[in-house]
Structure formats: C-alpha cells, structure tokens
Structure 1
Amino acid sequence: MKCAEFDEDLTKANELGFTCVKMMQSLLECMMRQADKVEMFKKFQRPADSLHAKYSVSTKNSVRLQVVRNIDEVAFIQNLVYYIETGYRTPDFGIWERGDKTNQGIRELNASSIGMVKAALQALNDVGDLFGDGSRRSAIHVLPDEIEQCSAVLSSMLPRESFSKETDAALMTIISYPGFAVEDQELVDRTRDTITSMLLGKYGCRRFLRDGYKTALEDPYRLYYNKSELQQFENIECEWPLFLCFLMLDAMYNKNDEAVEDYWQQLESIVVLSEKGFRLIPELYKVEREHVAGEKSERGSQPRVPSGATPHLWAQSLYVICCLLYEGFLTPAELDPLSRRLSSHEKRPPCEVQVTILAATREVQRELRLNGIEVQLIDEVDPVFTILPASSLAEIHSRIGQSKKLNLSGRPLDRDVGLLSTSRLYQIGQKFVIFTPQFMDSRRSHLMYDIRILMDEWSSELQYIYASWNSVSISGRPLVVLVVSGDMLTTVDDLVEMLLETTVLEEQASIVHCLWMKHGPEYNTSLNGQYVTVKMLMEEVYTKSCEGRMWALVRLTAGLLDKRLEELGKAVTHLLVRQKQITVGMPSKKEEAITSPKTNEELKEIMHRAYSDDPNAFMLSQEIIVALGSLVRTEPKLFVEMFRLRIGLIIQVLASELARIKKLSAVDAAENLMTISPFELKSMLFSLLSGRLLEEFVDDGEAAKETRTGIGSFRRHIEERKSVRKSTRSVSGDVPPPIPECTANEEEDELSEDDFQFGIWLRHRRIDGALNRVPNNFYASLWDTVNRLPHGVRINDTILHWGLTQEMTRREMKFALEVEQALNRIAEPEYREMVVEALWLLGRLDKLVQSEEPNIPRDRPLDVDALLRAANALFVQHNREMGTIVLECCASGKQCDGARGLCRHLYDSAPAGEYGTSHYIIKAMINLFT
C-alpha cells in the first residue's frame, strides 16, 4: 500500500513538473514572437518597445520536457539578458503596473523591479548551459558588472520602493522568496521590519501607503487619480492576504517557528470557504463605505470584507505552497534549487586582486627597470595568452546572441564593459584571453592624459573590484592587467620641454580659434597647398594639448569640437540610480534638470542647450559630472541628504574658492579654474563634499605627496566647520548649539589671518547652498510644517501648497523633490541656505513659540522671504544699538551687497549663539506668531 501511495505521489509530481515546463515553454514562445521588440529595446529602452506582460493561452500547445530546444531559443534568451541588464536605470510601471503612486501613467525606478532583474541575472549566471549537456553553444553570458550595478542601486534605495513610495509590500519578493536578491542581512531585516511596521494589518499587507485600488472611495470610472485625492485613501487601503503568504514563507526560510505559526493562524482566519468546501484566498480585503470614517480615525478598528477575484490565483498558489511546507510535504530547499536563499548567510573570504603590469614598448620597460620595477613587454607574454583592449570584449559580446532567423543582434556596442568583466580570464579556442580595463583607453576621453587622475582611477577601480567580486559570486580571483605606455612616464625634464613649447602651441591655438570664429570649422585653409580645414587643425591642437597637459586649451578645443566624455552617460546613471538628480547650466538662465537616464545623444543635446555659447563650461561640466559619478560609487556618504546636484552653482563655488585661495578677481579665478587638471578638480570636489575648506594648491615638490582624498592639507579651523554641521543639522535640540568659546591661543591664531575674521560663514553658506545640503530629517520636518499651514509656505514666489501633504506622504521622495524644485529657483546659494535655516526652525514652532494658539496665517501662505526680511531688520537694529561693523553699511542706510537685500554681515554670522542668525529668525517668528 505504501509503495502504491508513493507511486501515486511520484506520478502527481511528474505531472506537475510537466505542466510547469509546458507553461515556461509557452511563455518563451510568446516572448519570441516579439523578438523585434527585444532588439529595439536593447538600443533605446523606450516604453513602446517593452515586452507585453500578458499573453493569450488559446494558441499554445507546448510539449516536451526541455524548455529551451534549439540555438535560436538560446540566442533569444541571451538577448533577454541584454534586454533586462539595464533594468537598474530603466524606469518602469512596477509590479502593480500603475507606475507612480498617483496612478497617472508616470514611470519610475522601482526597487522591486531592480531586485528581480538582479535575481534573474544571477540565476541565469548560475544555470550554466541550457541544454544540460555541457555545450558551450547553449551557455548564457551575463556580465557581472550589471549584477553589481543592480546591487548598488538596491542598497541605496531599500527600504524605499521608489520616488513616490516610501516602501512597498512587493519588496518581500526580492528580500526573500522567490528573488533572494539582497545579500546584506541587516538591510533585509530593516526592509522587512519597515514593511511589517508600516503596511501589515489583520488581513494582510497594504501594497503601499495611500493605495486607492478598489477602496470604497475610489472612482472606478476614472483611469487616473487627481493628485489631491490620495490623502482620502489614508488608513483605508485594501489589505492583501497574498503578503501573509510571503511573510510566512520568509519565516520558514529563516526557521522562525513562532512567526510561522502566527502567520499560519492569521491566514487560516481570513480564508474563504467555497460551496464545495475549498479553502480560497481572496485578492484583497476592503473597508465598506459605512465603516470608512471609523477606520480613518483608528486604523484596524473596523471589519473588512473580501473583494476582487476569489480565488486570487497568485495568492492561492502561494497558499498551496505554504500548506505543503507547513504540513511537511515540501522543504524550503526544494523551492530553491539554486540555493539563492543562502546568499545572505554565505561568508566568502576576501578576494585577492591580482595586478599584472606590462610595458607597451621597450623604452618603457627600460625606464621602469631603472626605477627598480621589472616588467614584461606585451610581446614577451606567453603565446598561450593574448592581451586585448576592453573594446574587443565589447565586440565579442556584440556577436553573442545573434540570430538571423529572429533578426537579433548581440549586445549593443555603445554599452560599457565593466571592470569586473575585464578582470576575468577567458578561453577562446585554444587561447586564454585577458582584457585591459576600459578606463585606460585614452581614446575615450582626454581625462586619461592626466596621469594623476589615471592613478586615482586605478586606486578607485581596484577598491571596487575588491569590494564587489564576492558579492556577484564570481569564481576564481580577479586579474587586472595594466599596460604602461610612454606618455605615463613623464619626467621633470619632459615637463620643462613641454613648458618651453606651450608658447608656440598657444599661439597656434589662438590663430586656429580666430579662424574658427571668423570662417567656421569647415573653412579650407589650403595649408601647404593641401586641403586642410580649420576643424582638422583644431583636432591637431586638441591632440597636442592633451599630450602637453594644457588643460585650458584641452577644454576649449574639446568644447569647440563638440566632444563628449565617454564616461558621461555612465556617471549620470551612477548618480540618478542613487536618487541624485542633476542640473546643468547657470541658475536663472539656462539651467536644465536631468531627472531620468538619457541616451548619449540626449545628454549631448541637453549640454548644448545649457552651454550653447560656452565651450569651456561645456567640457568642465562634463568633467564635474564624471567626477561626481565616481565619488558617489566610492564615497556614497558624502551625498547624504543631497537630492539634486547643481553643476552651475558648483562651478561658481569652485571659482570663488580659487579666488579666495589665490586672491584673484572673479574673472581671473574663472580662467584659473580652466587650467587645473582633472585630478585637481576631482580633489576640490571631494574636499567641498567632505565639508572642508581648501588649502592653497600644493607646489610641484609636494605634488608627489598628494593622496586621493584631496589636494594638500586642509584648513586648521576644521572645528569651526564641525560647529556648522552641528548647528545646521542638529535634530535633537530646538535651537542650534552655540559655538564653543575659543582659547586665547586660538583667538591670536585667528587674528593673524584676516581671511578667517570675515567671510568664513558666508563661504560656508555659499558652499552648502551650492551643494544643496540640508539637515537630517529636513524634508519630513518641512512636511509637518506645510501640513499645519492651511495655505502652505511661500518660498521665492513658489508656494508649497497644503495639498502636497494630501498627495504625498511624510518621507516620500517626491515631496523632497518638490521642495528642491522650489529651492533651486533661488539663484544665490547663500540665500538658499538661509531659507533652509528658516524652514528648519519653523519645524520647531511649538517649542520655540510659547503660545497655546500660535497666530498661524489662515488667509495666505506663510512667506519665508518676509520672515527673513524681518529677521534682517532685527539684526540691523540690534547691531546699530551695539555700534558694530554693520554701521558701515545697512545700519547707516548705505546700500549693502548682500543677496536679496539682506545684510552681508547677517550671512557672515554663525547660525547659533546670541548674535547668530537663528537668534534673529526665532525673534521674527515670535513676533509673527504671537
């Protein structure tokens, strides 16, 4: 009898297995009929070219066990890899197919989608060959860098789902079964805790906050919501039993028996019995209209009724799995044949990055030998090994996945080949092939002609390999081959010779530039009786400038020649996927925002519109974006609470810092900024982002001692900088703490340099304003303020309406971006920072204004600009009475050069203390609200 039962169970298992394979095979056939869409989406990532999510089942009669049966199907799956590998930077409509929470057809980056892309790429990478016979022809190739990109983006987003959703129950599918896409156990726990604390109810989980789907108040006859109506769905969102199944499965995988039992009992209490006695799981539970008011006042206090499809096939299938696991018919391991569940528990030893240095020429080899470094020539490497550039690997991948029958090409050539991919050893035929890193290709941009930026990139990229190798589960140890060429070994004598030649080159450049402006780039100069256009001469000047490291000429000629840094698109993506938007151009003129990933051509057009008449800024902005893209990968903590990077203001601040350091005029400082090397530019950016003031540029003798963290030593008065951070970012106190008193020695030290007596706080505010820095929890605090004011807050003629709090939740990224948009209309960075200080103090209104009923304006928005003008008047009056330096300007009625009519000495005051800006803003608030 037992044997018979076993055979019957085995028969059922086989039947279920065949059914599963048929379904997968049918899905593959459905997708293959849209091969043309896959080909187009690889190139352009347009929504119209994406694959459909639903297919007809009437025409599918799939048979046979093997899902993938021929080479064309292998090619199609390989192209699906190319199709999804850019998912980390491709906005979509999300798992609920509604896009942005407002349900208005707006796509956005969703963490749940990115997590599934990562899980799919990892799974395909682990499968090996699809035929199962060891054939290389059926192997699927996944670039590990794309997996690492997804991982980096997930780490920066979780537990947030997207710009419009603070979190989403769909994240359970990627932190646990079936995706298991997050290796960081602490991040997994934090995401799970966020979901259960914010979304879990008696009947399941809300999908996300203010989800109006199928609630009693949703209008079923309208496709889209009005933004202001989202608040009415608060606390009455439908609860989905589906997520009780996910939570129970998660508890089973974590061997949390107590949680398993709790979720099982909760599931059993909400199942619906059919007429035949089947236990069914409904799609969702909703609050009926007559109970809406009670549920809004106290969430969870009212009964809910099943609604939607019953059974809900997704939830029902998961419930069946839960039953099989709970009753012991299945084990969790059987649902995870690739053991992906172990990724967060598996501890691999740190990888050892192997670095091999080769010489490009015999002269280079000889020069290195004289300095005690023994290296081989490329030609001396064992014939079994071949050294090729990264572009060759890109060409190889462009042929993998080609299918004439399906009209499919391979991987697009314009996609980058990452460092993890070039750090692997490949076998092609009978040879082992090693590829050099892509960042070493000087043909991609002029940045690699700066040896120090090249060395800095080496350091950063080696650290990237060390940190990322194990996380993408690559076998073996990474091998990085660096080829040293002659132009990397510039000696002091060579530099002297270059300096002697720069006069001629500058004269040549000046003449060519004059011809360009007068006759245009296509003008034929007939030089030496040959056809030589001005553009050809400019190309030659550009090449010589790169070789001579004459950065002002490099940027000018590159801008005129319309060159785009190859790293630009990748850098923009690095910033955007980490929720950092970018604006290019100068404030109040041609400033344009980059809020979503763009193609190379789209980026070029944006840069042209922003800098149509300034080739220098055209190139400098690209270099700054590339440097920021590099820093956001290696130093993400520098960008906390910064949602939008304004490149135009950053250029202004860099120029003003140079003017201060070198005591230059504004015009001379702008010109001097163009002469610094890309490495010095990146070092200045690092120092500014770190909250440090720059020291004088180091001389040639100290240049060798520079490290990647900056250019030279930093200001002795770093404690003053720390006091800024404490005063403007403090969240525990009502008023920023006072500045510590200086000792006698410190005072004498300060008096020795006039530079530290005046202008230091003004500089702080200009820098923080240009970098869009705000205190921790600033946006949540401002949300509370706007929610409290019936007509909202007016900032620089832009009103943050009360309705925004009805549309968006307290920590929603979209609200932060609305605030940033209002603040970014302020052209003066120091005034922007003063507005931030005022808004921050408004969030402490109850503690600062001792009144039971503050006199909140009921008929108009609260005008922050008027509040600051009142604070400025109090400041001027107080200083007039004390007879301070303000008597030289505003206190005596003379015109002051402070931004927006505020006294420049107010900008130059510390935030805290008896004479600090907070003191006067608080007094103005008291006068306004009492």
Structure 2
Amino acid sequence: VTAAKKYTHSRRVLLDEVNFIQNLVFYIEAAYKTADFGIWERGDKTNQGISELNASSVGMAKVIFLSSLDELDLFGVKGGPQSVIHVLADEVQHCQSILNSLLPRASTSKEVDASLLSVISFPAFAVEDSQLVELTKQEIITKLQGRYGCCRFLRDGYKLLKRQTLFIMFFSPQDPNRLYYEPAELKLFENIECEWPLFWTYFILDGVFSGNTEQVQEYREALDAVLIKGKNGVPLLPELYSVPPDRVDEEYQNPHTVDRVPMGKLPHMWGQSLYILGSLMAEVRGNFKTIPPVSPLVISILAETEEIKAILKDKGIDVETIAEVYPIRVQPARILSHIYSSLGCNSKMKLSGRPYRFMGVLGTSKLYDIRKTIFTFTPQFIDQQQFYLALDNKMIVEMLRTDLSYLCSRWRMTGQPTITFPISHTMLDEDGTSLNSSILAALRKMQDGYFGGIQTGKLSETMMSWESGNWMDGCDSTTNVRRLCKALTVSLYILHNLHPRPDWDTKLYEEGGATVRVLLTELYGKVGEIRHWGLIRYISGILRKKVEALDEACTDLLSYQKHLTVGLPPEPREKTISAPLPYEALTQLIDEASEGDMSISILTQEIMVYLAMYMRTQPVLFAEMFRLRIGLIIQVMATELAHSLRCSAEEATEGLMNLSPSAMKNLLHHILSGKEFGVERSVRPTDSNVSPAISIHEIGAVGATKTERTGIMQLKSEIKQSPGTGVASSSGSFPSTYDQQTSRDSRQGQWQRRRRLDGALNRVPIGFYQKVWKVLQKCHGLSVEGFVLPSSTTREMTPGEIKFSVHVESVLNRVPQPEYRQLLVEAILVLTMLADIEIHSIGSIIAVEKIVHIANDLFFQEQKTLGADDTMLAKDPASGICTLLYDSAPSGRFGTMTYLSKAAATYVQEFLPHSICAMQ
C-alpha cells in the first residue's frame, strides 16, 4: 500500500510537470505576436528597453519549441495520452507567415541582422521559400559583411562606447556606465561597427546543408585568415574585430580598408563550437535537408438531414448525412476551442491552460480521438451562431476557397487533411426545395476537381482508412418581400428607440419575457432569413454581436507590421491601433471612432476581418503599406460605388451597407488590387430580393461597356427603390465628390480616382521611403501642413527601417484628403530627383505643400491662357487645388510631374547650380 501511494504521488508530480510544459507551449505559440528583446537582449537598437517583434525569436519559437514538440510523449514508451504535448498547427503556421513577412528585415528598428542566418539556415531551417532565404542571405552579405566577418546590424555600438578613447572622441565627458544610446548617437557608429567571425561559421554550415561546396571553401579560407593560434597551435575564434582608436577617421572615410584588432573573449565559445561543427560536417557528403511531401486534401460533404441529401442526389451529388457517419461525431469548431482550453489546467500550480481562442482550418482538418470517440470538427467560418458572415452563401464559398488555399500550402503534418463541410437548410433557396446556386456550383467543381484541386470523399471511408414562440409568425416566406422589409424596418425603428431599456418587457407575449433584447434577437433571425444586409449589420451592432476572431484579425495585421486606424481623419477622431487589444477594448475604441453609428462600427469590424484574410493569403496587396486606415477605406468604397452607379453619397452609402459580405469582400479586393472595375446587376439568382444584386468585375482601362452602363443604370434605379433602413445610417453618409459628376464621362475622373485610392490606402511607389531618407540628408527637414520631418531622423534611423517608414507615413497622414496627400507624395518624389544632383544642400526646411500650391498656380495660369473657364478650373474647397489638376496624368505636357518639377525648381532654385536653373 505504501509503495502504491508513493507511485501515485510521483505520477501526480510528473503529470504536474507535463501540465507545466503544455502551458509553456501555449505561451510560446503566441511568439508571432509577442514583442521581446531579441537574440542580443536589447530590443530596439537604441537599447532603451523598448521591446519589438524579432524575426530571430519568431523563427526559433516556430521550429525549436513548436514543430519539434508536437505530439511528443514526455514519458516515452511508458507514457500515455496524458503525457503527450499538443501544439496547434495553426499557431505554428502563424509563426511561419509572420516570419516570412518580416524577412529580410529583422525587426522594426533593424533593417537587417546577421542573426537571421541561424533562422534561414542551420539550425532552424525555418523558412521554406528558397527565394526569400537567398534574398535574406544577400542582404546580410551586402550590408553587413566586412573583411573580418559580419557586423550584427547597422549602427551597432557594441564594444565602442566602453572604450574611453572613442568615448572622448564622440561625446563630451559623461557617465561611462550609461547602458543606452541617445537616438542621434547611432549615426556615429556607421561604418565602424565591430565585425564578428562567428557569422562566417553559419555560412560554412549553410553551404554544407545546401550542397554549395564553393561557399564552404570560400568561408573556410576567410576564417583561416582571422583565426588566432592558441597554445599547442590550436586555432581559436575571437569574439569580434574592432577598428583601432587612432584609425577611426580613416575607416570613416574608406570603409573596410583599416586593419582591425581582435577584442572580446578568446575563444568565443559560441563561434568556436560552430567552427568545429562546420569543419567536421564539411568533410561529410550528403543531403541533410528534406521536405516531407504534402498529402492530397480531401473534403467530406455531409447533409444535415435526409431531405437535403435527397435534394443533393437529384443534382447528381451523392453524400452522407451527419447521422450516417456514426460513430464519428460532427461538432462545430467552437467545441474544439473549448476542448483545447482545458488542456494543461492545473489548480495546484495555478495554470489556466490555453485561453479560448479562434480555431484555424489546420486544427479542424483532422480527426480527433477523444476518450475513445472519434470527432471531426466543421470549419469556423460556417458557424452561424458566431457572426452573420455565415448567412451569405457566396461568402461561405469564398472563405472555403481561401481556407483550402491556405491549407494546401501550409499542411505539414502526417496523414491526409480532411475538411468536413456540412450542407444545412440555410444553404437552400428561399422555398427550401433546391440548393443555392453558389453552393451548387462549388460542389460540382469539387466533384470535378476544379475547386482548388481537392478530392471529395466520404467521411466513413476516411474513418476506415484512419482506423487502419415567434412574435412575427404572421410574416411568412410567401409575404411580399418589399412589404415585409418595410414592416421589419418599422419594427427596427421602434426597437431602436427602446434600445436604451433592453430588459424592458414589452408584454407582447402573454407568458411574458418579450424584452427588447429578445425581440431584437428574433428580428435579427427574421432579417437573416431574407438576407437584408443593412438591417443585419445594424441589429448586429445593437446586439453587440461578436465579430468572429476580430481580436485575432487585429493582432494578425499588427504582427505583419501594419498599424491600423479606425474612424475618419483627422485626429483625434481617427484613432490608431499600434498594439494588440482585448476584444472589449478594441470594440469600444471602434465605437468611439464611429461616433455612435452602429452600422459603421460593425462594418469597420467586418472590414478588419477581410483585411486579415487577404493579409494571410495575398500579402502582396499590402506592399509598401505600413498603416491601414479603415475609415478612409470605407469612405473610398462608398465613393467608388457613387462613381460607378452615378448616384449621390447617401444612395451610395445605403448601397454599401446593403452589400452582401461576399460582395463587400470582393469590392475591398478590387480597391486593394488597384485594378479598374465595373458594377452591374447580376443576372444570376441571389439569396435576397431586398439587397441590391451588385456584381463587381474587372474591366479594361478603356471605360465601361454598353452592357455595363445598362447595368449601372438598372442598379441605380434599384437602389433608389430599395427600402431604406431608417436608423441604419444614423450619422448620415460618407462625403463624396461625385455628387456633381453624374453627367461626366466615365473616363473623366480616372486619375483623381487613382490618387484618391492610393492616398486612402497609403500606397506609395517602391523605394519611396529610402528616397525620402536621401532628401532629408540634403535639407534641414520636410514640412507637411506645419508638421516637420527633421533631418536628424537620418541620424536615428537607417533608410530601410520600418520605424523610419512609419515615421514618414505619420507625417503624411496629417493630411485628411487622400488625393491631396498623394499630390504631396508626388512632390516629394520630384525632390528626390533633385537630391540626386551633386549639390550639398537643396534648402533648409522645405514646405512640401508650398511646392504643390506653386504647381497648382502654374497649372491654373496656363489653363486660363489656353481658354479654360472657371467651371473647368473649379478648386477643391478643402485644399484649394484645381480638381482638374487632381485628374491630370502624372506624365505629359499637362501632367502633374511637369508642374511639380517647375514648382520645385522655383522653390529651391537659390540652392541649385546655375545650369540646372537655366534648364528649368
């Protein structure tokens, strides 16, 4: 008995340790969104205790702590289910995606870091994209490599401030024990950073694993030249090489020419061990790195009932029902989230386990054996209890396509990924006798193998291989839809006025309990059945419906180094989100920025979710964007509808609110992609006869076709006849400059539209911020509407830093008009051309908006001379710029660059050589 008690006690202690490791995994799996101090333990390179997201930390967490620990039994052959460590595949792939988005940068303050060699090659091999690996490697070689090794990162002051000679040379006497740098001091370390032979050992190992014998030989010979002979002739690797104090000025003038001296530890144990390992492995031939093949993806289609199965069979689609796949139990993804939240809980050690979080498609695409019962879980996006996106069948198809694409590219586990896709009654047409056309088309493509290249299969076969009182009853579905919509709007208006008293019992039910909140919930269900998206969005806002994975979407966008703003400019109405927020705090901030408009608040949350979807699947859409201004994006979406439909701002806003989620996501994609698109009435049956049937499609640059123009007029008429939502747009509409342009040809306004889109999206040309950095080196600063970007910024930051790009962007974002902001960007581009001229300075503080206004005056005078009247040369009251200048192409005789070049030359001519002025 005593022995049994001791065994039981020891086993409990061991299980406590398992719980501790499991919680440690749950903590580390959030590395992709957790700022830390990085491999050098300093965080931001100013060493002022500012943490940041580091690529080296994310890469190591992904490989060492997550991938290698998944399904590990801590007790080995003596273990069991209780001793197995579980890692969510979705979190591993989150780390992978964020790592790929960071590279070749190392962090916000470091545009490149030699420590990335340990991530892209030995020992982590955390990056599968060979092109990204090569790009990162070349960045390190180009920017960090010297004659004695590689410096850790640009402007690294390590081992410099502690040397009294350099300290006196650079600074007035002060505390030599100071552990941080003033931002402007970093410029002083440029070109004299210490070089570490350690990183050449990584190049040797990289060459061994990649089979590049030339690289191995090159770096072995380079290392032989910097090794120091120790006792008995043993070669020792020093920590680093530094510039002698008396030759610093010479190294400044001619980088990499001065002979350096070894400093620090000898041997440097980190580098010495890798040198020995590299030397040994260089003698071994073979392929050390393999990538497991990806199993084919299977989707299992299930019918919710026998009636739905019969409908599918009539269409030639043979499926099983949920009841027929027994003993496999089918559950929604939220149940799996609850199951995972119980893992690792330990009251004795006060361990709470995994927080309840969104379950990704990788987690729901496999079967689970839980207490001798097999479970399969449906994807998160079809859970209608969570949010209204699952009410839109087209949106379900789009999200399924997105998840399949993500799953195919990210599945790295053993076995075959299987998605369980149930067909429910909400996927039927209104009469309930036929399948929705979008769902039917998707199912047929799946059968033919044209839907992402997936295979369809029965869940039972997969199992075999795996084992080897309504208050609105009077309004039925046959009621005239427009009359029903009007009745619903009146009901909503009444409930809206009662909303401040949500628990007040209206006494509509004899048994009681008909509170305002209950009636609003019933109304939400009814408008969901008829797919009135304007009312759905507004009631969702009133009921505080939780937007599925909103906080995760926000965190994902931030993890990709994108700041977010909500609300319309200027500040303080437009609010910035630069760090992850809890769900409640995030929704409160959005409500404040929306100024109490429920529809705008819920639409802002919806757009944030779509942006995160596109960020995960098409990150190229966000190139050179560091701040996503959701308020301006919504404004531009409304303006685009007004332009395409030739309608007023109020009609466009109402039309935007009534778009289905799939159409909303499609419109957002067209705006992000920058492609021209048209709007016409869809000829296919839709889920609703209430919301306008808007079809958004790409068109050429030549303008709208006859069919498209006909569709626009029909849609405009339909929107005008569409029943209003009354309170669904309480704060009015988005301002639109197209209200007076209904008679203009569709080709006119093209360049103004392009500038408005680029300005709202903060889209700038590739390399723009690096060019701004060069301009700042030749002036005292750039002023934009009174906000100055000082030249001292170049002493604090390097051209490729994300910090610098965000800093420049924050100054430009002080301008609320997107098209005016884009003209300022064009003016700065002209200044960058002047900065390339061999002159010392192009001015003191350059007021960029003055250059734009000089260009506008030149344009106005020339157009007047050519006979333009005041109507054609009307000015935007907000900025004072001619709308015709906004609508001018950048190039050509009357292009904006022509006038901006003349204006810039006029503004800075006293600093230019005489020959240049004469040319202008």
TM-score relative to the length of structure 1: 0.81
User: How much has 1:153 moved relative to structure 2?
Assistant: 1.5
1:429-440 to structure 2, matched below 5 A, reads: 429-440=371-382
How far did 1:526 drift? 4.1
**1:903: how far off?**
1.1
AA at the equivalent of 1:594: I
SS, match of residue 843 in structure 1: helix
- Of the three residues 225, 248, 252, the one matched with 2:181 is 225
Deviation at 1:770, TM superposition (A): 0.9
Picking from 196, 202, 206, the partner of 2:151 is 206
Identity %: 42
Matches of 1:88 and 1:852, distance apart in 2? 44
Q: Point out the more displaced range, 132-141 or 673-682.
A: 132-141
Matched, 1:392 2:335: yes
Query: What amino acid sits opposite 1:534 in the alignment?
Result: V
CA positional deviation for 1:116: 0.5
Would you say 1:878 and 2:862 are equivalent positions?
yes
**Residues 48-83 of structure 1: CA distance to partner in whole angstroms, max 9, x if unpaired?**
xxxxxxxxxxxxxxxxxxxx9933322222222111
Distance 1:280 1:718 in 2: 69
In 2: Cα distance, 1:283 partner to 1:139 partner? 41
Q: How does 1:489-888 map to 2 (within 5 A)?
A: 489-491=428-430, 498-516=481-499, 519-528=500-509, 530-589=512-571, 590-701=573-684, 711-717=695-701, 754-789=744-779, 791-845=780-834, 853=839, 856-857=842-843, 860-885=844-869, 887-888=870-871
Mean Cα displacement is larger for which, 582-591 or 248-257? 248-257
Relative to 1, partners in 2 of residues 1:646 and 1:430: Cα closer, same or farther, differing over 3 Å? same
Query: Offset of 1:422 from its aligned partner?
Result: 0.9
Shift of 1:617: 0.9
**Using a 3 Å threshold, how does the CA distance of structure 1 residues 295 and 482 change in structure 2: closer, same or farther?**
same
Q: Which of residues 31, 38, 42 is equivalent to 1:98? A: 42
The Cα shift of 1:842 comes to 1.4
Deviations 1:130-149 (A, max 9, x none): 33217333322111111211
Structure 1 residue 169, shift from structure 2 partner: 0.6
Q: Secondary structure at the match of 2:777?
A: helix
Relative to structure 1, is the Cα distance of residues 279 and 256 closer, same or farther in structure 2, using a 3 angstrom cutoff?
same
- For the pair 1:321 / 2:277, whether they are aligned, the reply is yes
Distance 1:563 1:606 in 2: 16
Residue 799 of structure 1 aligns with an amino acid whose one-letter code is V
Residue matched to 1:173: 118
Distance 1:194 1:228 in 2: 25
Q: In 1, Cα distance between the equivalents of 2:495 and 2:686?
A: 33
Structure 2 residues not aligned, in runs of 5+: 1-11, 168-174, 433-476, 688-693, 705-740, 910-920
Contact 1:119/1:181 (8 A) holds in 2:
yes
1:131 and 2:80 correspond: no
Residue 46 of structure 2: SS of its match in structure 1?
coil
Q: Could you give the per-residue CA deviations for residues 141-162 of structure 1, whole angstroms, max 9, x where no partner exists?
A: 1111112111212222211111
Residues 649 and 770, structure 1, Cα contact 8 Å, conserved in 2: yes
The superposition leaves residues 222-259 of structure 1 with CA deviations (integer Å, 9 ceiling, x where unpaired) of: 23211111111101111122212222222222333333
Q: For residue 146 of structure 1, what is the aligned residue in structure 2?
A: 91
Give the drift of 1:628.
Answer: 1.2
Partner AA of 1:922 in structure 2? S
**Do the aligned residues in 2 keep the contact of 1:444 with 1:565 (CA within 8 Å)?**
yes
* Alpha-carbon distance in structure 1 between the residues aligned to 2:211 and 2:638: 59
- Give, in angstroms, the shift of residue 279 of structure 1: 4.5
Contact 2:200/2:223 (8 A) holds in 1: yes
Q: d(CA) in 1 for partners of 2:45 and 2:312?
A: 60
Which deviates more from structure 2 when the two are superposed, residues 550-559 or residues 599-608? 599-608
Deviation, structure 1 residue 913? 0.6
Match of 1:84 in 2: 28
Q: Give TM-score scaled by structure 2 length.
A: 0.82
Amino acid at match of 2:588: E
Question: Quick one: which of 124, 140, 143 aligns to 1:195?
Answer: 140
Instruction: Name the stretch that deviates more: 85-94 or 838-847.
Output: 838-847
Residue in 2 that maps onto 1:481:
420
Q: Secondary structure at the match of 2:526?
A: helix
* Matched residue type, 1:477: Q
Structure 1 residue 757, shift from structure 2 partner: 4.7
In the TM superposition, what is the alpha-carbon distance from 1:701 to its structure 2 partner? 3.1
Structure 1 segments unaligned to the other structure (5+ residues)? 1-67, 334-338, 705-709, 721-750
CA distance in 2, matches of 1:212, 1:702: 66
CA distance in 2 between counterparts of 1:801 and 1:913 reads 33
3-state secondary structure, aligned to 1:754: coil
Secondary structure of the corresponding residue to residue 416 of structure 1: coil
| Letter paired with 2:881 | L
How many residues are matched?
799
Q: Shift in Å at residue 96 of structure 1?
A: 0.9
Distance in 1, matches of 2:590 and 2:849, equals 32
Contact 2:647 2:742 in 1 (8 A): no
The range that moved more, 272-281 or 473-482, is 272-281
Partner Cα distance (2:311, 2:685) in 1: 23
Q: Corresponding residue for 1:379?
A: 323
The amino acid that maps onto 2:343 is I
Distance 1:122 1:87 in 2: 10
Q: Structure 1 residues 277 and 713, CA, compared in 2 at 3 Å: closer, same or farther?
A: closer
* Structure 1 CA distance for aligned equivalents of residues 702 and 600 of structure 2: 31
Alignment-derived partner of residue 394 in structure 2: 452
Residues 1:428 and 2:370 aligned together: yes
- Whichever residue aligns with residue 142 of structure 1, its letter is V
Q: Distance in 2 between matches of 1:429 and 1:477?
A: 22
Contact 1:769 1:833 in 2 (8 A): yes
- Counterpart AA for 2:895: G
Q: Which amino acid aligns with 2:409?
A: A
1:22 corresponds to: none
| Equivalent pair of 1:75/1:401 in contact (CA under 8 Å) | yes
Question: Residues 541 and 467 from structure 1, CA distance in 2 versus in 1: closer, same or farther, beyond 3 angstroms?
Answer: same
- Whether the 8 Å CA contact 1:400–1:411 is kept in 2: the answer is yes
CA shift, 1:186, in A, is: 2.2
Displacement of 1:819 in angstroms is: 1.1
SS at match of 1:133: helix
The partner residue of 1:240 within 192, 196, 211 is: 196
How far residue 565 of structure 1 moved from its aligned partner, in angstroms, is 0.5
1:134/1:426 CA distance change after superposition, 3 Å = farther
CA distance in 1 between counterparts of 2:607 and 2:67 reads 37
2:840 and 2:865 mapped to 1: Cα distance?
30
Q: Does the C-alpha gap of structure 1 residues 812 and 853 become closer, same or farther in structure 2, counting only changes over 3 Å?
A: closer
Distance (Å, rounded) in 2 between the aligned partners of 1:889 and 1:126: 67
- The structure-2 alpha-carbon separation of the partners of 1:718 and 1:807, relative to structure 1 and needing over 3 Å to count, comes to farther
Relative to structure 1, is the Cα distance of residues 197 and 852 closer, same or farther in structure 2, using a 3 angstrom cutoff? closer
- Taking the aligned partners of 1:648 and 1:782, their CA distance within structure 2 comes to 27
Q: Distance in 2 between matches of 1:852 and 1:281?
A: 44
Amino acid at match of 1:601: E
**Larger helix percent:** 1
Q: For each residue in 1:610-643, what CA deviation from the matched residue of structure 2 results, as whole angstroms up to 9, or x when unmatched?
A: 1241111110101111111111222222211222
CA distance in 2, matches of 1:199, 1:716: 45
Match of 1:788, SS state, is coil
Q: CA 1:312/1:712 → structure 2, altered by over 3 Å: closer, same or farther?
A: same
Give the direction of change, closer, same or farther, for the CA distance of 1:752–1:628 in structure 2 (3 Å limit): closer
Which of 419-428 and 506-515 deviates more?
419-428
